[in-house]
Structure formats: C-alpha cells, structure tokens
Structure 1
Amino acid sequence: MKYVNIEQVQKKMNTRLLKNNLLKSLFFAATLFGLVVLAILIIRVLLQGASWINMDFLTGKLSTSPDRAGIMGAILGTFWLMVVVIPVTLFLGVGTAIYLELYASKGRFQSFIQTNIANLAGVPSIVYGILGMTLFVRALDFGNIVLAGGLTMSLLVLPIIIVAAQESIRAVPQHLSEASYGMGATKWQTVKNIILPAALPGILTGSILSLSRAIGETAPLVVIGIPALLIPFPGGIMDKFTVLPMQIYYWTLDSSLVEEYANLAAATIIVLLVLLFLLNAAAIFIRNKFQKRY
C-alpha cells in the first residue's frame, strides 16, 4: 500500500496555482496593453479630426486647399468599389464552398484545392495588388478604374469568404440533410432549402467581415495606381476613382509639408471607422436574426 505525501501534493498544487496566476496575469497584461494602445490611437484621432468633420467636408470635392477639401469622391469611390466586390465575392465564394463541401469527390485534387485556398487567405495584400495590376490593368487594359480595383479586391477577400462559407456549411448538422433525402428531396433541393438557410448566419458574418477588410485595404490599390487627384465624382464602374484608405494615405504623406492635411487624414479615419463599425454591427445583427429563425 502506497502512502500519499501530503506535503508534496500541497507543494505541487501551490506550484500549479502560482503558474496559473502568473499566466493569467500575463494574458491580462497583454490584453490591457492592446486596449490601452487602441484607446490612445482612437482618442488622438478624435481630438485631431473631429472638429474637421462637417457637411462641407463630407459632401465636398478634393481640393489643394485643406480648408475646402472634402471626401465625397472617396465615399462614392468606396461605394462603387463594393458594388463590384460584393456580387463577385459572394457568388464565387459561396458557390466554390458549396462545390468543395457537397459536390467535389474527396481525394487528392480536392485536398490540393483546399490547401491552396487556405494558403491564399494568408498571402500579403500587396501580392494581390501586383496580380491585379498584371491581369486587369495591363493584360485586360482596364486601367485604374473601379472595375479593375473591384476585381483586385475581390481576389484579396475571396479565399477568406470561401473558408468562412465552408466552415459554416460543415457546422450544419448532418441529420438535417439526411432527413431531407429521406423525404425524397434532390441534392440541390436539400442544399437550397436546408443547408444554405442553416449556414446563412455564418456565411453572412464571414462575408461582411471580409468586405470590411476590403474597404480598409490600401496596398493593392496603391500598386494598381489609384489616384488621389482632383478627379470628378465616379458615376459607375468604368470611371476613375479613389477610396477612403487611399485618401488617408495621400493626406498622411502631404502632412509632412502642410500640417492641416494630418487633421484631414484624422477626420477621414473617423469616417472610415464609423463605416467599419456599422458593417460589423450589421454582421452581428444579421447573425442573431438568422440564428433565431433557423
């Protein structure tokens, strides 16, 4: 019969508790540090740019004079960019996810596609800018118009939407589709009426968050040569354009020469943050609404 040494057991328990408290404090400090840095950045941006936001700023054109500069052209450019990105990414992304999860034969080819899609989701955004410049701007001779920028940004977020849609489809309980087949439904009827509605909250949440990334990206648009000059307001996908992140980028560069441009950049950052906040809030609302329904 073995005797338990109570002192050794107590010593091990104390050591484990000490490690647990130490790691908990470390993780809390890391979280607190990130929140403090984020709060400092937001407070600085608000103090620097809030006073510059007014109707003239929101509805005005770009100008060489900081006092008369506006961002309506960048807002419209962002809108038209999303007009291209949203249908392309949703149809291709969700369609690809449905095919890979429900129709493609399991094997090396399917595994090869899955691995490459996962790898593409982690490729730096500037690489997609180079691809867009080579394919859309030069090969197809689109130039730096909304269509070229939208297709380039679609390539950027497409792998993310595919992965998010696949995970949502996998999360649908298997017994739902089996019950549908047992009732005599075809595979497409099961996909359309059972699997997609059940997976819709996750698909929409992942898609909206991916589109938020597309709105905030700058590097691919810099590579394909999107201007920030005094261009007319874009009225369609074949017009030249600029977007909010590009305008922030160029005004930040100009702030080294004229200090007021830093205030304009901060004001534009506030507008972009509000837009991203609204998109994320919409993602949460849509997810909760469809989760209650299905």
Structure 2
Amino acid sequence: MDVGLIVALLLMGAFGGFAAGLLGIGGGMVLVPFITMIFTARGIAPELTIHMAIATSLATILFTSLSSVRAHHKHGAVLWPVVKLLAPGILIGSWIGPWIGKQMDSSFLAAFFGVFVAFSATQMLVGKKPAASRALPGKPGMFAAGGFIGTLSGIVGAGGGFISVPFMTWCGVRIHNAVATSAALGFPIALSGTISNIWFGWGEPGLPEYALGFIYVPALAIIVLASVIMAPLGARTAHRMPVRRLQKVFAVILYALAAYMFWKAFQ
C-alpha cells in the first residue's frame, strides 16, 4: 500500500471520526463515497466496490462509537435505558440490512445511498428539528424503531444517527442526549452489521486479498486509527459550541458526495 493511499485513508478517517463524534452520524455518509473512490482506483471489481465500501465503513463504527460514546458518557449525556430498549431491534435489523444490500445491484445500491445522503444533507442544512409531540413508545414500539434503524443502517453502512436522532427528539429527548445516545447505538449497529457482512460476503468471487467477507481489512485498520483519535474531539466540540454552522458545511460536503454516488450509479 503506497504512502499516498495511506495518507488519503488517514485524512478520510479523521474527517469521518470527527463527524461521528460531533453530529452523531456514525461517519458512514462521509466514508462510503470516499472509500468507493479509493476502491475504484485500486481496481476492485465494480460489482463489489459499493458493497465493500459500505461494509468497511460500517466496521469502522465498531471503534469510533466506543471512542465517541466514552466522551459523551463523561458528560452524562447517554440515555442508557433508551439504548437498552432500542438495541434488540437494532441487532436484528443490522444483521438483515447487509443481506438486503447484497441482493441489490451495485448501481442501484449506489443510487440508493445517494438518495440517503442527499436526504440527510437536506435534513442537516434545514436544521428543522421535529417537534417533541410525544413520549418514547413502549417496548414493542422501541423494538420496531430499533429494527428499522438497524436495517437501514446495515444497508447503507452508517451509524443510524440520521434516523435515531430525529426519532428521539420527536419523542421529547434533548438534542445533546439524542446525539450522545445515537453514538452509543452505533456499536450494536456496527457489531451485528459487521458480522453479517463477513458472513454474507464470505467466499464471494472476485474479492481482493486481505478481504474478510465484504470488509477490506487494510483500509479498515488505517481509517480506524485516525477515526478513534478524532471521534472524542468531535464529541467534546459538540458539548462546547453550537454546531449549526458546522452542520451547514457538512451538508454542502454531503451534497457533493451524493452527486458522486449518483454519477457512480449511472456512469
């Protein structure tokens, strides 16, 4: 692996880790398009590029979530009872998500991801938070919500914050608590999704050397190194300053990344 590629992966990991800690988005929205670019340049089979980018991105959240949630926990912001209620559905959904993604054609998956990123960017740019119109549902409702969050996160390789944060704020949870709790939910999403991507990708024809199922281990190791360092910094920043301006900057970047994924889908 050449020095230029290592530097690119380190920078990408640092940016994704900071975004994960700051905004509770898991970093996947940023990482997947960049990893796709790198895997394409490395000559990985086109029909595997998107699937491997999503799987590798999801695996990084195993580490960034632990790093960022530790910082949030120090501030007493993580609502662990909420994590406990959502986690069972999340574990099941995150296992199913990669299987659904495997059934999708790579072009369709790229377009699906582009729509997801564009929607998330619009949500971030508008900055309109859902009104707290109800309380958190009971156990069946939380299980169903967790299943939906986990499934969609498993398909697109993200940490679930794009759904879990609005869901919790709609149910009356303070935004800082919602972001912190979303960071904690990233771990069960990544754990189940990573195992699923290894299982369903095992023995897939055309996988490169050092791939573990759909996960490309060398890229994972380098991205994680930078992400784990930057995720706590993002989490601390979220508690020290208003993030509205930074959200707008991230939104513009996400639009550009969504455009790339659409181009990748229809090229």
Q: If the TM-score is normalised by the length of the shorter chain, which range does it land in? A: under 0.3
- Comparing both chains, which one has the higher relative contact order based on Cα–Cα distances under 8 Å and sequence gaps of 6 or more? 2
TM-score (norm 1): 0.26
Instruction: Please tell me whether Structure 1 or Structure 2 has the larger radius of gyration of its CA atoms.
Output: 1
TM-score (norm 2): 0.28
